[in-house]
Amino acid sequence: MSYDVPTVSRTEPTRDSRLYIRNLVKRDPLTGLADDVRKGLSAQPKRFLPKYFYDELGSQLFEAICLLPEYYLTRAENEILQRYSDDIVAALDGQKTLVEMGSGSASKTRLIIEALLRIQPELLFMPVDISATALESSSRILLQSYPQLRIEAYAADYFAGLAELGKKPRARTLALFLGSNISNFDLEEALRFLRAMRSVLQKGDALLLGADLKKDPAVLEAAYNDALGVTSAFNLNVLARINRELGGTFDLHAFRHRAFYSETMGRIEIYIESLANQQVRIEKLDLTVDFAEGELIHTENSYKYDKAGIERLAADTGFKLARTWLDSQERFSSNLLLAN
């Protein structure tokens, strides 16, 4: 989600004092973008960090991607949660607290919230997201829908949010990491994140981990190369954002979106390709960058998993894979990892 002005603050609670949001984003987002763009365009090969996809326009484009016929991931995960949310929440005993990393609009989270409220009288929901604006918007909508809900939200990156969550005792916890967000981490990053997640959970707590599955490469590649070109616009919006915020001179027609599946690496690799030999000026960085025809800027990976890979991730990070639920076409998995 989009980055917010750096503050550390508490929002005004709602009238019934059911909402608390603490903003832990301390870095000026424009400074962060500038530093990361300079580093990325000075690297070999060139790269951008995928978190910069999600300015306001980028977030809207991603919402559109989720509706595309080729992009099965959102529909498949929704199907799983609609069918099995009662089974998921029943897998843990006792009164539960719900934690979610990267909650965003929390649209899919509603299915888990409703399942929990069918078996307990009230619920504490603790979402973590980089955008304080998104957190406040989604939290107020949820509170209007569910009178039994209380929300303690943290605007932070994953690791700062986990550090804060680790300071507070909680009831039995069900944590969520949905949408195959784990796919955007390489193996070492995934292990680091899951170990940090495990460090704030008690034995018997659980993490529901969404993971896209390995399948026919044609199906995978179509999901990232849609016929309408929405994914292309989403990827190239990174260049437009640099133009808007840093005074860049990228000609978006001189670059194209590329995405393909690497069987060897088990991942979709996403790039921006230069279509000509060209120079780009970025005024606020006082930087001129040369691009060769055919040169690639790496923007994102999306790793795909099988059951054995998920079991290894769990075993290497202090979890045990207890249950896996699949959609009807077996494209996507929701995995219950129990804290050992």
Whether 107 has a pLDDT exceeding 90, the answer reads no
Check residue 29 and give its pLDDT.
61
Per domain, the residue ranges of the chain are: 29-68+217-303, 72-213+305-339
Question: CATH 3.20.20.30: does it fit domain 72-213+305-339?
Answer: no
Where does the pLDDT of residue 12 fall: very low under 50, low under 70, confident under 90, or very high at 90 and above?
Answer: very low
Angle at 193 between CA 89 and CA 21, to 5 degrees: 65
Check residue 27 and give its pLDDT.
63
| Average predicted confidence (pLDDT) for the chain | 92
Check residue 2 and give its pLDDT.
31
Place of tokens 């604006």: 133
Check residue 16 and give its pLDDT.
56
**Once rounded to an integer, what is the mean pLDDT over residues 195-203?**
97
Structure confidence by residue, pLDDT tens digits, 218-228: 999 999 999 99
Query: 47 with 288: CB under 8 angstroms?
Result: no
Structure confidence by residue, pLDDT tens digits, 257-280: 999 999 999 999 999 999 999 999
**Once rounded to an integer, what is the mean pLDDT over residues 181-202?**
96
Query: 197 with 162: CB under 8 angstroms?
Result: yes
194-206: b or e for each residue (b if 16 or more CB lie within 10 Å)?
bebbbebbeeebb
Whether 115 has a pLDDT exceeding 90, the answer reads yes
Which strands sit side by side in the sheet containing 149-155, from one edge to the other? 19-23, 149-155, 123-129, 96-101, 172-177, 206-212, 332-339, 319-326
Q: Are strands 287-291 and 278-282 parallel, antiparallel or unpaired?
A: antiparallel
Check residue 105 and give its pLDDT.
79
Strand partners, 260: 269
